[in-house]
Structure 1
Amino acid sequence: MTLRPPDGGSFRFDPGALCLELLLTGGPGPLARFEVLDTPAGLLDWVAASRLEPPSLRLPPVGEGDLAAVREVRDALQRLTVARAHGRPPGAADLAVVNAAAAVPPLVVRMTAAGEREWAPGASVAGLLSTVARDAVELFTGAHAAAGRIRECGGPDCYLLFVDTSRPGRRRWCAMERCGNRHKVRAHRARTQSEGEERCPQV
């Protein structure tokens, strides 16, 4: 997904899972400044940009209650993912929110006469949330090693979370062109300053 932070510019970021893409819409605390789920358009824009397949999901009119439900699940997922990234136990209330969302029937795909995939009629925000919540259950409990590779970006004041899919499992940054390069610049400045101090004649 293409992210456009408030400080300007844009960069590509792949969190590695549908449920983690939902975390890019804002959240509690310092994440509130990124909030986009305060309007139906914000949710629909996220749906169109997400990895949902097929991408052409049509939802009925989205109300304030729908938006509040999406934000509740998103915020619970945010806290659960941060806890997993830092080796902390999950919060019982957050687990209950995600499990309740996953218990609802998810979105359903079907095959068209042309052999293509499409969403079956009856799609709803509740079904969307169930699909996202079930993706989270699979991420956190699946047999693959992804659950042990959930990371938080190492950049200062960067809250992006992702699944480290690199072969060595040493990914530290949301994106090299953003926090990775900023780290390199800071390290270079610190090294240059240190070398300058070493060359400075002692008085």
Structure 2
Amino acid sequence: MLHDPKGGSFRFDAGAVCLDFAHTGGEGRYAVFESLHEPADLGEWLTQPPLGAVMTVPVTTGELTAAKALRQAIWDAAHDRAADRPLTAEAVATINRAAAEAPLAPELAADGTNAGWAPPVRATQALSTLAREMIELLSGPSSERIRECASDNCPLVFVDLSRPGARRWCAMERCGNRHKLRALRARRATES
């Protein structure tokens, strides 16, 4: 669920956890969307599904700084790929640096029916897991399906997981409906 600082929220599925992470805030004009103010905010975000990584070691200020750098690199790389531009060396280096750390290690519960993350669970491991997912996304078959919302004022990026590969909007209930309403108004205005 994404929240607009002007009020309201909408369901948004970016199609990849790493892209969901890229939408937790940002720099410049995206600072109003910032949700990772303190290390504890990062820890809380990482505990949410689908990642569900409950930190057994408290998140540090350094890890928060690294998380924001990774987030920006994922954002930049996704937008570059969506626009069919070469990725920047800085974004690639930041993603690779995060991925080089040990990732989260899955662990099967004693009852054999549930899984979690083997302790200790650290933020650097979760960030590595997100970076590795972004590497797979950028270098795999879904790379060509990274899209930016077709709305002229929405910068959200997503992986188009629709069968025909025709998804245009971040969320139909938000940008898709706005587009349809504008088109309807334009048709009515020309018909009058």
Residue 126 of structure 1 pairs with residue 119 of structure 2: no
String of CA shifts for 1:30-55, please: whole Å, max 9, x gaps: 21110111212321332233421xx2
Match of 1:15 in 2: 14
Larger radius of gyration, structure 1 or 2? 1
String of CA shifts for 1:38-95, please: whole Å, max 9, x gaps: 212321332233421xx25224222221111100010011101100000000001110
Match of 2:71 in 1: 74
Residue 61 of structure 1 pairs with residue 54 of structure 2: no
Residue 175 of structure 1 pairs with residue 171 of structure 2: yes
Shift of 1:160: 0.9
- Choose 56-65 or 111-120, whichever is displaced more: 56-65
Secondary structure of the 2:13 match is coil
Partners in 2 of 1:127 and 1:110 — Cα distance?
14
CA separation of 1:127/1:56 partners in 2, compared to 1, >3 Å: closer, same or farther?
Answer: closer
> Is the contact between residue 73 and residue 98 of structure 1 (CA under 8 Å) also seen in structure 2?
yes
Shift of 1:171: 0.7
Match of 2:136 in 1: 138
> Is the contact between residue 56 and residue 119 of structure 2 (CA under 8 Å) also seen in structure 1?
no
Partners in 2 of 1:194 and 1:19 — Cα distance?
43
> Is the contact between residue 84 and residue 90 of structure 1 (CA under 8 Å) also seen in structure 2?
yes
Partners in 1 of 2:86 and 2:175 — Cα distance?
27
Shift of 1:103: 0.8
Q: Percent identity among equivalent residues? A: 48
> How many residues in Structure 1 have an aligned counterpart in Structure 2?
191
Partners in 2 of 1:111 and 1:61 — Cα distance?
23
Match of 1:199 in 2: none
Shift of 1:135: 0.4
Match of 1:200 in 2: none
Partners in 2 of 1:44 and 1:170 — Cα distance?
35
Match of 1:158 in 2: 154
CA separation of 1:56/1:105 partners in 2, compared to 1, >3 Å: closer, same or farther?
Answer: closer
Q: TM-score, normalised by structure 2?
A: 0.94
Moved over 3 A (4+): none
String of CA shifts for 1:106-133, please: whole Å, max 9, x gaps: 0111112111212111211111110000
How well do the aligned residues superpose, as a CA RMSD in angstroms? 1.3
Partners in 1 of 2:16 and 2:9 — Cα distance?
20
String of CA shifts for 1:120-177, please: whole Å, max 9, x gaps: 11211111110000000111112xx311000001113211110001111111101111
* Matched letter for residue 90 of structure 2: A
The within-5 A match list for 1:102-121 is 102-115=99-112, 116-121=114-119
Gaps of 5+ in 2: none
Shift of 1:3: 1.4
